[in-house]
Chain A
Amino acid sequence: MSKDNKILEEFTKSDYKYGFESNIESDSAPKGLNEDIIRFISSKKEEPAWLLEWRLKAYHHWLTMVEPRWPNVKFPAINYQDIIYYAAPKQKAKPKSLDEVDPELLDTFKKLGISLEEQKRLTGVAVDAVLDSVSVATTFKEKLADLGIIFCSFSEAVHKHPELVKKYMGSVVPISDNYFAALNSAVFSDGSFCYIPKGVRCPMELSTYFRINAANTGQFERTLIIAEEGSYVSYLEGCTAPMRDENQLHAAVVELYAAKDAEIKYSTVQNWYPGDREGRGGIYNFVTKRGICAGERSKISWTQVETGSAITWKYPSCILKGDHSVGEFYSVAVTNNRQQADTGTKMIHLGKNTRSRIVSKGVSAGRSQNSYRGLVRVAKRADNARNFSQCDSLLMGDQCGAHTFPYIESDNKTAQIEHEATTSKIGEDQIFYCNQRGIADEDAIALIVNGYCKEVLNQLPMEFAVEAQKLLALTLEGSVG
């Protein structure tokens, strides 16, 4: 047996470290999806009539759609009637501060290593923690409120800022956009809402942690970030899910809106439960993420580190509408065992002098499949649009696959588009070089993978970069040290 195989063998023995279930009583809707369930969700959340209507409209549209089959992933058919669409942790009253929050809930976060108090005190990160469907605690709110920044749960925003929600919700990802976006629009439970007023530079990283908790609950998050003229915000999203045998569906929608001169930086570390090494269980991660650079010189930057989920299927996209706007996409996707990932981005150049940059790094190991699928489209009037894409794949083991499907569509003669992709394995000469200097094989591979992903990891905010590096090491534990 070669060294690589041995390394991989060891790797498959590493278990998912975040697999535990907290016993918080859930207030759930019955299984299944119909108009009544949507009315139930809406009334549970005490929503206004216009939102219920919006949900129903999405639901009716969803009924006319068929589940897309084009991604390069395989999974058994999802029974949409076998999912619980709403589960809220039961609490007597809405907590006013951290002290009032269910201690068991807080303990869950501690196990995840994101103790709210810790974060609050040490890192200065304002966390809007979402456990299952209701956001439980929001920190640093007052400090943000002083600057006019609204950072709250989606349901709260619906009640307190209906005009903003009404104006922007569905403006970037319409309800008819795709099958899972329509489903999300019909049944979305909660999520985060963020509004940065004109000219404000958000002084801290905004962050939320998602976590699927109760058994058999689909998680349908909805995030909306609005950056007004000249503002700046950096938003972090992290996900872990406890170990579970059945596949769980996660169909979130994220909408970003950047006005003139605004900049939004959106970072994700995704570490949902990937299933065991035979591919049992794990999360289906079917997410629609899109941002629009509506104003001139606006900028949206997506950074993602994807290490979890049985199936990942997401394409954080940028619509570059404003002249001189910039879109960026940095991604590390690591798959192992029987994980499947079909991820990439779309850069739609509409405005003049728009620029986009795509850096995608895939690592596949075990029997996993890792695909990059990206679209770069330059519309007719997008003069001097510029794109650079780089998609590299690293293969570890001879039973995995790495695939690249870039779509490049140009309708403008002044557009400059460059795309390059490579697929290879770690060079024996690179390992040999490290060996020479007394670095063992495993450490050498860890070193090389880290270097390979550096370009993307560097884009992450400090707190996340550390966690991401840990996750990378954890995912490839045994194989890369």
Chain B
Amino acid sequence: MTQIIDKQSKSALQEAFLRYFENSEKLKEPASSFLYELRKNAIHSFEQSGLPGHKHEEYKYTPITRALDKNFDSQDLSLEEVPNPDLLARIKPWLLTNIDANIVVFINGQFSQEHSKIVSSPQDMILKPLSQAFIENKELVEQHFAKQASIESDAFVALNTAFAQEGLFLHVPKGKVVDKPVLVYFINDTTQRRVIVQPRNLYLIGENSQVDLAESFYTVGENPGYQNIVSEIVVAQHAIANYYKIEIEGQQAYHTGTTQVQQAAQSLFNATTVSLSGAMVRNNLNIALDAEHCETHMFGLYMLDQHTHVDNHTIVDHRLPNSFSNELYKGIMDDHSRGVFNGKIYVRPGAQKTNAFQSNMNILLTDDASIDTKPQLEIWADDVKCSHGATTGQIDAEQLFYLRTRGLKKEQARAILLKAFADDVIQNIKVKPLREQLEHIIAARLEKNYQL
């Protein structure tokens, strides 16, 4: 009876992380620093849980640990910067530099002053690297840092917390409406070597304020790159935050990301996650509705081809009465790609009058593509209205026929229908240049695939 069935051997990378943490000078904090305890607890928690194996319920369909072990080793943890003169030319098509927006660029986890451009005034918004905020905005950071994202719930959050050094700190003070969006680019440059980075962001959206915020992830280069990112977002009372996560990574890019949101009363939070490529991508979007009358919208699009594997996990935690949440995730799987969706609506005891809706729609284009979806409801209160729906199928034959009777070629008709399918999500992006850029990329891909 005492025999343990789990034959999975320990991950080598996990050991490497633990060893590196022990020996790293950079991660040694003075015992007086608030980071000291945080790092200690986080690495302890990581050591306890370990990287999730294939038996882990939350990582059942995404063998991320195996993939990381295969592609990375202990040497990739220490980063010496190798300057890359071509980089600017290669990322230029991605960067929306010629628009009136705040641009913040991180290259291999380091803040790049050279590529960044901050146009909003410091009165409207504080925008700075986290390492700087640790010193200059100590009080705010200590109050919120690592308070939302739980190191117990996910090994990757624990890992990130232990290694957190750089990222973006954003603070919108009370009553400020930031009219210029904030576009944050996380660029992995793997042209010379493999790269592992762990950015850590803290966004504080003050009372009665409003902001548009986009995180974009790109990988340049042919070597494998891995980003393990955690963003914590605190939305205060009456605040409005629009959050976008855009992933256009290479075929060698691995990504695990957790976006942890906490909402105060009467706040509104809109999230749109768009994943277009990567080797293996895992997004956790966890939203805690920690007060009454919160409103949340989550949109997601995963449009995949080749061997891309994208896993979207979302949790909406209704903790108090009278909140509303709405979720729509759509997936198109082409070639050998694999989509995973797991959406959880959690209604705590006492969270009466909750209204929650969730929908997941998938289209499989080839027999080699697959989708695993698991929409979940966990309801502990009775006076609620919660529902979810999930569909998996192919393009509707009647719609196809309708377009063909109007003289469109079959391929054209398919492309139009797929574009319309994706548009339901894309149209929720309120930052126009960003939306147009994505529309362009999607149109180009459809054109290529259907030889229009």
- Report whether B5 and A419 are in contact in the complex, using a CB–CB cutoff of 8 Å: no
Q: Render B192-222 as a binary contact track against A, CB cut-off 8 A, 1 for contact.
A: 0000000000000000000000000000000
Q: Render A60-83 as a binary contact track against B, CB cut-off 8 A, 1 for contact.
A: 000111100010000000000000
| Binding-face segment, B130-138, B149-157, B372-380, B415-423 | B372-380
Any B CB within 8 A of the CB of A27: no
Interface size on B, as a range, is 35 or more
Any B CB within 8 A of the CB of A399: yes
- Report whether B372 and A407 are in contact in the complex, using a CB–CB cutoff of 8 Å: yes
- Report whether B388 and A424 are in contact in the complex, using a CB–CB cutoff of 8 Å: no
- Report whether B382 and A397 are in contact in the complex, using a CB–CB cutoff of 8 Å: yes
- Report whether B392 and A395 are in contact in the complex, using a CB–CB cutoff of 8 Å: no
Within 8 A of A (CB), among B388-412: 388-394
What distance in Å separates the Cβ of B387 from its nearest Cβ neighbour in chain A? 4
Any A CB within 8 A of the CB of B96: no
Please pick, from A399, A402, A410, the residue contacting B392 in the complex, using a CB distance under 8 A: A410
Please pick, from A66, A408, A412, the residue contacting B372 in the complex, using a CB distance under 8 A: A408
Within 8 A of B (CB), among A386-404: 393, 395-404
Q: Render A442-472 as a binary contact track against B, CB cut-off 8 A, 1 for contact.
A: 0000000000000000000000000000000
What distance in Å separates the Cβ of A36 from its nearest Cβ neighbour in chain B? 18
- Report whether B382 and A403 are in contact in the complex, using a CB–CB cutoff of 8 Å: no
- Report whether A70 and B386 are in contact in the complex, using a CB–CB cutoff of 8 Å: no
Any B CB within 8 A of the CB of A171: no
With A66-B5, A425-B384 in contact, do A403 and B377 touch (Cβ < 8 Å)?
A: yes
- Report whether A398 and B381 are in contact in the complex, using a CB–CB cutoff of 8 Å: yes
- Report whether B392 and A415 are in contact in the complex, using a CB–CB cutoff of 8 Å: yes
Q: Render A408-435 as a binary contact track against B, CB cut-off 8 A, 1 for contact.
A: 1111111111111111110000000000
With A410-B370, A416-B393 in contact, do A424 and B385 touch (Cβ < 8 Å)?
A: yes
Any B CB within 8 A of the CB of A170: no
Q: Which residues of A lie under 8 Å from residue B367 when comparing CB positions?
A: 380, 411-413
Any B CB within 8 A of the CB of A197: no
- Report whether B379 and A403 are in contact in the complex, using a CB–CB cutoff of 8 Å: yes
Q: How far is the CA of A146 from the CA of B128 in the complex (A)?
A: 88
- Report whether B387 and A422 are in contact in the complex, using a CB–CB cutoff of 8 Å: yes
- Report whether B378 and A401 are in contact in the complex, using a CB–CB cutoff of 8 Å: yes
With A415-B364, A416-B393, A421-B388 in contact, do A410 and B371 touch (Cβ < 8 Å)?
A: yes
Q: How far is the CA of A65 from the CA of B4 in the complex (A)?
A: 8
Q: Which residue of B lies closest to A396 (CB)?
A: B382
Q: Which residue of B lies closest to A62 (CB)?
A: B1
What distance in Å separates the Cβ of B411 from its nearest Cβ neighbour in chain A? 16
Q: How far is the CA of A398 from the CA of B384 in the complex (A)?
A: 10
- Report whether B386 and A422 are in contact in the complex, using a CB–CB cutoff of 8 Å: yes
With A64-B3, A408-B372, A424-B385 in contact, do A417 and B379 touch (Cβ < 8 Å)?
A: no
Any A CB within 8 A of the CB of B350: yes
- Report whether A408 and B393 are in contact in the complex, using a CB–CB cutoff of 8 Å: no
- Report whether A66 and B390 are in contact in the complex, using a CB–CB cutoff of 8 Å: no
Any B CB within 8 A of the CB of A279: no
Q: How far is the CA of A399 from the CA of B57 in the complex (A)?
A: 27
Q: Which residues of B lie under 8 Å from residue A419 when comparing CB positions?
A: 375, 388-391
What distance in Å separates the Cβ of A226 from its nearest Cβ neighbour in chain B? 32
With A419-B391, A424-B386 in contact, do A395 and B372 touch (Cβ < 8 Å)?
A: no
With A403-B376, A423-B377 in contact, do A413 and B394 touch (Cβ < 8 Å)?
A: yes
Any A CB within 8 A of the CB of B352: yes
| Contact count A vs B, C-beta below 8 Å | 118
Q: How far is the CA of A401 from the CA of B346 in the complex (A)?
A: 11
Q: How far is the CA of A397 from the CA of B381 in the complex (A)?
A: 8
Q: How far is the CA of A407 from the CA of B343 in the complex (A)?
A: 11
Q: Which residues of B lie under 8 Å from residue A401 when comparing CB positions?
A: 378-380
Any B CB within 8 A of the CB of A478: no
Any A CB within 8 A of the CB of B369: yes
Any A CB within 8 A of the CB of B118: no
Q: Which residue of B lies closest to A407 (CB)?
A: B374
- Report whether B389 and A70 are in contact in the complex, using a CB–CB cutoff of 8 Å: no
Any B CB within 8 A of the CB of A281: no
- Report whether B376 and A405 are in contact in the complex, using a CB–CB cutoff of 8 Å: yes
Please pick, from A395, A402, A406, A415, the residue contacting B375 in the complex, using a CB distance under 8 A: A406
Within 8 A of A (CB), among B109-162: none
Any A CB within 8 A of the CB of B22: no
Q: Which residues of A lie under 8 Å from residue B390 when comparing CB positions?
A: 406, 408, 417-420
Q: How far is the CA of A401 from the CA of B57 in the complex (A)?
A: 21
Please pick, from B3, B385, B386, B391, the residue contacting A418 in the complex, using a CB distance under 8 A: B391
- Report whether A65 and B376 are in contact in the complex, using a CB–CB cutoff of 8 Å: no
Any A CB within 8 A of the CB of B75: no
- Report whether B1 and A410 are in contact in the complex, using a CB–CB cutoff of 8 Å: no
Q: Which residues of B lie under 8 Å from residue A396 when comparing CB positions?
A: 382
Q: How far is the CA of A418 from the CA of B1 in the complex (A)?
A: 41
Q: How far is the CA of A414 from the CA of B391 in the complex (A)?
A: 12
- Report whether B362 and A410 are in contact in the complex, using a CB–CB cutoff of 8 Å: yes
Q: Which residue of B lies closest to A421 (CB)?
A: B388
- Report whether B374 and A398 are in contact in the complex, using a CB–CB cutoff of 8 Å: no
Q: Which residues of B lie under 8 Å from residue A70 when comparing CB positions?
A: 57
Q: Which residues of A lie under 8 Å from residue B350 when comparing CB positions?
A: 398
Q: Which residue of A lies closest to B341 (CB)?
A: A408
Q: Which residues of A lie under 8 Å from residue B377 when comparing CB positions?
A: 393, 402-404, 421, 423
- Report whether A413 and B364 are in contact in the complex, using a CB–CB cutoff of 8 Å: yes
With A70-B57, A409-B370 in contact, do A421 and B384 touch (Cβ < 8 Å)?
A: no
Within 8 A of B (CB), among A351-407: 380, 393, 395-407
Q: How far is the CA of A398 from the CA of B376 in the complex (A)?
A: 20
Q: How far is the CA of A137 from the CA of B381 in the complex (A)?
A: 47
Any A CB within 8 A of the CB of B58: no
Q: How far is the CA of A398 from the CA of B386 in the complex (A)?
A: 15
What distance in Å separates the Cβ of B399 from its nearest Cβ neighbour in chain A? 14
Q: Which residues of B lie under 8 Å from residue A395 when comparing CB positions?
A: 379, 381-382, 384
Q: Which residues of A lie under 8 Å from residue B369 when comparing CB positions?
A: 413
With A66-B5, A410-B364 in contact, do A404 and B57 touch (Cβ < 8 Å)?
A: no
Q: How far is the CA of A417 from the CA of B392 in the complex (A)?
A: 5
What distance in Å separates the Cβ of A76 from its nearest Cβ neighbour in chain B? 17
Q: Which residue of B lies closest to A412 (CB)?
A: B367
Q: How far is the CA of A463 from the CA of B367 in the complex (A)?
A: 46
- Report whether B1 and A398 are in contact in the complex, using a CB–CB cutoff of 8 Å: no
Q: How far is the CA of A400 from the CA of B391 in the complex (A)?
A: 29
Q: How far is the CA of A424 from the CA of B365 in the complex (A)?
A: 36
Q: Which residues of B lie under 8 Å from residue A413 when comparing CB positions?
A: 364-367, 369, 394
Any A CB within 8 A of the CB of B349: yes
For the complex with contacts A380-B367, A416-B391, 13 further pairs of A-B residues with Cβ separation under 8 Å are A64-B3, A70-B57, A395-B381, A400-B380, A404-B375, A404-B376, A404-B377, A410-B371, A410-B392, A413-B364, A413-B367, A421-B389, A423-B386
CB-defined A-B contacts under 8 Å, sample of 10: A70-B57, A396-B382, A405-B376, A407-B374, A408-B392, A411-B370, A412-B367, A413-B364, A413-B365, A420-B390
Interface pairs A-B: 9 shortest CB-CB: A395-B382, A413-B364, A404-B377, A422-B387, A417-B392, A419-B390, A420-B389, A416-B393, A423-B386
